C-alpha cells in the first residue's frame, strides 16, 4: 500500500505543469476492462466430525486439517468516474473474479476396531472461490498531453466472497483396517462480506473526445469473515493487485 501511494506522488510530481492545469474534458468517463489478479493468498481451516467408524467406538472423531489457496486469474472490472470540480472526481468500480484451486487435505480417520489407532490420509479436491469487489474512489485526473491522461484514485472497498470449504472426509479401507486411503470430501459453500481499502492509477489514451483505451493498475486489501456450520469463524484476505486494459468512453 505504501509503495503504491509513493508511486502516485512521484507520478504527480513528474507530470508537466501544463497537464496539471488542463481541464477535465467531459463529465463522465466509463471504463470496461479485462483484467488479471496477479496476487494470491492462503488460509487454513481445522475441523473434527463424527466419522462412520466413530459409531463403533464412541467418543472418537476424525480430525481434518485443510489449506486453501485463493487463485490468481482473469477477472472483469468496470466502473465510472464523475467529474465534480476541476480535476477532481468521484468514481465507483466493480470487479469480479472466479477461480478454482485444489484444497490440500490431511485427515486422521478413527480405526473401526481399535481405540486411539487413527490412520492418516492425504488428498486434494477442487474448491471454487468467487470474489466481488465494489471500490469507491476519490479521483484526481491530470492530462499529460491532449490525448493522454492519468487518473489517480483511492478509497474504501467492500468485498463479497463465496468459498467452498471441506466439511467432512471419506476414506477407503478394508480389513484389518491398519491403513486407509483418501476417497472424497464433502464441501460446504460459505459466503461472507467485509471492508477494505483501494488505491490505483488509470492511464487513458483518447482516440477521439469520446472513445479511447486505457490501462488499470489497482491494489485493494480487505478482510472477510466466513462462518462454517458449528465451527469457529475464519477470517480470510480479500482483494489484491489487479492489472487490466480496456475501453474508455467519455460523455
pLDDT digits (tens, 9 = 90+) for 185-205: 999 999 999 999 999 999 999
CB 220 within 8 A of CB 239: yes
- What is the rounded CA–CA span in Å between residue 238 and residue 104? 20
- Interior CA angle at 161 toward 157 and 164, to 5°? 165
Written as nine digits, the cell of 239 is 482483494
- What is the length of the chain? 251
pLDDT of residue 55: 54
- Interior CA angle at 224 toward 42 and 70, to 5°? 25
The reported pTM is: 0.84
- Which neighbouring-strand residues pair with 170? 184
Q: What is the mean pLDDT of residues 159-183?
A: 94
CB 73 within 8 A of CB 37: yes
- What is the rounded CA–CA span in Å between residue 151 and residue 247? 15
pLDDT in tens, 70-86: 999 999 999 999 999 99
Domain boundaries, the chain: 2-250
CATH code given to domain 2-250: 2.40.160.20
- What is the rounded CA–CA span in Å between residue 211 and residue 224? 37
pLDDT of residue 155: 99
- Confidence label for 230 from pLDDT (cuts 50, 70 and 90): confident
- Interior CA angle at 135 toward 129 and 138, to 5°? 160
pLDDT of residue 59: 62
- What is the rounded CA–CA span in Å between residue 155 and residue 12? 18
Q: What is the mean pLDDT of residues 60-65?
A: 90
pLDDT of residue 23: 47
Listed in sequence order, the residues at least 6 apart from 217 whose beta carbon sits closer than 8 Å to its beta carbon are 200, 201, 202, 241, 242, 243
Amino acid at each position: 500500500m505504501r509503495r503504491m501511494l509513493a508511486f502516485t506522488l512521484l507520478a504527480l510530481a513528474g507530470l508537466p505543469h501544463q497537464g496539471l492545469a488542463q481541464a477535465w474534458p467531459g463529465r463522465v468517463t466509463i471504463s470496461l476492462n479485462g483484467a488479471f489478479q496477479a496476487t494470491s493468498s492462503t488460509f487454513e481451516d481445522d475441523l473434527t466430525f463424527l466419522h462412520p467408524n466413530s459409531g463403533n467406538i464412541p467418543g472418537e472423531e476424525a480430525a481434518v486439517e485443510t489449506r486453501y489457496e485463493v487463485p490468481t486469474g482473469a477477472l472483469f472490472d468496470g466502473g465510472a468516474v464523475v467529474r465534480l470540480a476541476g480535476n477532481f472526481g468521484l468514481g465507483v468500480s466493480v470487479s469480479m473474479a472466479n477461480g478454482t484451486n485444489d484444497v490440500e487435505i490431511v485427515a486422521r480417520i478413527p480405526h473401526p476396531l481399535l481405540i486411539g489407532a487413527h490412520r492418516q490420509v492425504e488428498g486434494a479436491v477442487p474448491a471454487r472461490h468467487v470474489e466481488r469487489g465494489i471500490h469507491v474512489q476519490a479521483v484526481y485526473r491530470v492530462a499529460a498531453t491532449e490525448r493522454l491522461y492519468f487518473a489517480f484514485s483511492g478509497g474504501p472497498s467492500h468485498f463479497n466472497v463465496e468459498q467452498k470449504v471441506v466439511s467432512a472426509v471419506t476414506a477407503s479401507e478394508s480389513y484389518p483396517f491398519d491403513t486407509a486411503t483418501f476417497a472424497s470430501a464433502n464441501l460446504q459453500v460459505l459466503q461472507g462480506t467485509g471492508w477494505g481499502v483501494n488505491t490505483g492509477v488509470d492511464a487513458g489514451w483518447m482516440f477521439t473526445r469520446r472513445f479511447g483505451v486505457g490501462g488499470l493498475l489497482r491494489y485493494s486489501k480487505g478482510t472477510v469473515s466466513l462462518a462454517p456450520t458449528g465451527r469457529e469463524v475464519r477470517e480470510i484476505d480479500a482483494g489484491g493487485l489487479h492489472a487490466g486494459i480496456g475501453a474508455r468512453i467519455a460523455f
